[in-house]
Structure 1
Amino acid sequence: MKVSVVIPCFNGEQFIEEAIASVLGQTHQDVECIVVDDASKDRSREIIQRLAAADARIQPVLLDENGGPSAARNKAMAMASGEWVTFLDADDLYDPRRIEKLVAAVSGSDANAAVDNQSVRRYPDGPHEFSGFRFLTPGKVEPFTAETFFAEEGKIDRYLRPGYMKAMIKRDWLQQQGVGFPLDMRVSEDFIFYATLFAKGMKCLGVGHDGYIYRRRPASLSQSQAVNFKSMSDAIGRFLSEYRGMVSEKSVAALTYRSTMLRRLSSFGGIEIALRQRNFAKAVRLILQSPESLLVVPPLAKRKLERLLQKGTRS
């Protein structure tokens, strides 16, 4: 089974070579690696071209104008020749057996997609901290349903949302659906992509193996983070406006709850920034404008407690 791996890259000279190497070093060798340079301003293009000249499995796509990760992924998916297509962010990595495990899971099944777990680590070379998806059972291959996807998407906890997953999808089925990553979004475009596929009947298997290495960068509280929370809430509303009738009422309820909490997080983020800046008048004004934002404090406190307990267990 040939598998096409899609890597969008923008100004990734520090990590793109390592990402490509993790694809070429797979135990399943029948791969093509489509690397889309999204008009980088650094040495990314030079690195990609050098690597492509040394290995025919690398297909470089060099864009003259920056279109964002959605456009880059869509371009690569359109030219993929593998029976299956999957994804890798330029600053992340694959475990050497990732594709082998995914291919083994779908072989002989009627599934048109498979998703594995993610080893969450600190960028660039931190150790494994935890497995990102709690809905996957270690060592097992089980159905991963639309119901589970939307239920997990609705939760507020320390784990990754399933919208972060990097599924392996059967290419001909994907093309028949006519679904791509939304070009007008820079936040939650992955969620919209997978949610739409599930609404259209994607049959997905969950593989309990940490095949994808997700390297987190330190995040600082900022106004942009609050804006992102609102954008994520808007993305859920956008999906429900189009596909509400194609998902269960349980799924609608889970997504509605998540959307509400994201809006509260957006408001609370502005309050927390004001408090850290000791701008108490602004903080009070924001609280009066959105008193419901304080309802997110218990979930946030719970997440912080879980982190402390995890650190204590490791030490």
Structure 2
Amino acid sequence: MTAAPRPKLSVILAAYNCADFVERSIRSALDQQGLSIEIVAVNDCSSDGTLAVLQAIAREEPRLRVIDSRKNLGPSGARNLAFDHAAGEWGAVLDADDALQPGALGPLVQIAEEREADIVAGSIRFFSHRRQEISGAVFREDAPITALGLKDFVEAARPQNREPDYGLLKPLFRIGFLRERALRYRTDIRHGEDFHFIVDALGAGARYILAREILSYIYTTRESGLSRTRVDYSRMIAETEKLARQAPYSEDPMVAKALTRRADALRMHELNVLYGDATGLPSKLKVLARSLTSSAGQRWLKTKIAKRVVH
């Protein structure tokens, strides 16, 4: 019996309590042209009808493989399990509430292979489920294809940067490289885990190519209520500061400084969110008091005061 040919790309999907919307995500992956694909979907111990939805699609679509985890692994653990079962040369992580741009992954793989890359990313847009609208391009579409080193990535993977936060990008990974370096998603992190996975890959010598002109990933905005990720900026800040103190990142002053700047930017972003969400004077005063506990927070407070004086 002849073995099935190896797919060029495995789409990695962690599925948890997403019965009402996961089909959109899967259909977007199936709508890729120009390369052979499989979808490896892990039902992460869902308590709704997610498993039934996945199995119904799989009965009609042989490119979808369903793994039913009887233990809740979280997004990182579910992705690790899917990567373990992936047969493709490349892996693309897709969240159950998001979508892939039709036909985008073939050109990204071609660019990556031409440039001997281990990681390749395109551009992103944002989909408002409530308004049924997709945002405009987040990058200049005429920007050149560029290679990103570790310092370049960390410097740009933060809010309030010249370009969108690179930590939001959803790259494709050469699966052979991940296996050779034994790279895994950290299962103790459930918000910002993609950033750490990419930092680990770049630290292990991965070559990362960014092709801004190719729209590849469509995020569903948080106002939709579909995302199952709990936002935890405080943990992201603490983990980023920890990286800056750990070898090998602490041994490179440029990388360590970029990590520190990322932590400061995240801290100021968190204060903006907390202040915007605060209702009533006592709640806002608590945020202002919290800002005094760090130098980045104090800079945020000075900016806040300056804006109040100007206006």
Say yes or no: TM over 0.5.
Answer: yes
Matching residue within 84, 91, 96 for 1:85: 91
Q: Does 1:47 align with 2:50?
A: no
Matching residue within 132, 142, 145 for 1:141: 145
Q: Give the aligned partner of residue 212 of structure 1.
A: 217
| Alpha carbons of structure 1 residues 279 and 148: separation in structure 2 relative to 1, 3 Å | same
Q: Percent identity?
A: 22
Instruction: Please say which of residues 8-17 and 287-296 is displaced more in the overlay.
Output: 287-296
Matches within 5 A, 1:46-195: 46-123=52-129, 126-132=132-138, 134=139, 138=142, 140-154=144-158, 156-157=160-161, 160-195=164-199
Matching residue within 238, 257, 277 for 2:280: 277
- Tell me by how many angstroms 1:80 deviates: 0.5
Determine if contact 1:147/1:251 at 8 Å carries over to the other structure: yes
Q: Give the aligned partner of residue 308 of structure 2.
A: none
Determine if contact 1:31/1:57 at 8 Å carries over to the other structure: yes
Q: Give the aligned partner of residue 235 of structure 1.
A: 239
Give a deviation string over 1:168-215, Cα, whole Å, max 9, x none.
111111101111110111122111100111111110111121111111
Q: Whole-Å Cα distance in 2 between the matches of residues 55 and 272 of structure 1? A: 45
Q: Whole-Å Cα distance in 1 between the matches of residues 127 and 199 of structure 2? A: 26
Q: Which runs of 5+ in 1 are unaligned?
A: 302-315
Q: Give the aligned partner of residue 309 of structure 2.
A: none
Determine if contact 2:126/2:135 at 8 Å carries over to the other structure: yes
Give a deviation string over 1:133-175, Cα, whole Å, max 9, x none.
x4x7547433233232111024524854222221111111110
Q: Aligned with 2:46: secondary structure?
A: coil
Instruction: Please say which of residues 138-147 and 2-11 is displaced more in the overlay.
Output: 138-147
Q: Whole-Å Cα distance in 1 between the matches of residues 74 and 192 of structure 2? A: 13
Q: Whole-Å Cα distance in 2 between the matches of residues 280 and 139 of structure 1? A: 43
The CA RMSD measured in Å over matched residues stands at 3.1
| Alpha carbons of structure 1 residues 103 and 161: separation in structure 2 relative to 1, 3 Å | same
Q: Give the aligned partner of residue 304 of structure 1.
A: none
Determine if contact 1:26/1:96 at 8 Å carries over to the other structure: yes
Give a deviation string over 1:199-240, Cα, whole Å, max 9, x none.
1111011112111111112289xxx98x72211111212323
| Alpha carbons of structure 1 residues 297 and 57: separation in structure 2 relative to 1, 3 Å | farther
TM (norm. structure 1) is 0.82
Q: Does 1:197 align with 2:166?
A: no
Instruction: Please say which of residues 12-21 and 152-161 is displaced more in the overlay.
Output: 152-161
Deviation >6 Å, runs of 4+: 298-301
Q: Aligned with 2:232: secondary structure?
A: helix
Determine if contact 1:71/1:181 at 8 Å carries over to the other structure: yes
| Alpha carbons of structure 1 residues 281 and 150: separation in structure 2 relative to 1, 3 Å | closer
- Tell me by how many angstroms 1:246 deviates: 7.4
- Tell me by how many angstroms 1:100 deviates: 1.3
Q: Whole-Å Cα distance in 1 between the matches of residues 284 and 249 of structure 2? A: 45
Q: Which runs of 5+ in 2 are unaligned?
A: 1-6, 306-311
Aligned length: 295
| Alpha carbons of structure 1 residues 284 and 186: separation in structure 2 relative to 1, 3 Å | closer
| Alpha carbons of structure 1 residues 298 and 181: separation in structure 2 relative to 1, 3 Å | farther
| Alpha carbons of structure 1 residues 123 and 251: separation in structure 2 relative to 1, 3 Å | farther
Q: Whole-Å Cα distance in 1 between the matches of residues 77 and 127 of structure 2? A: 27
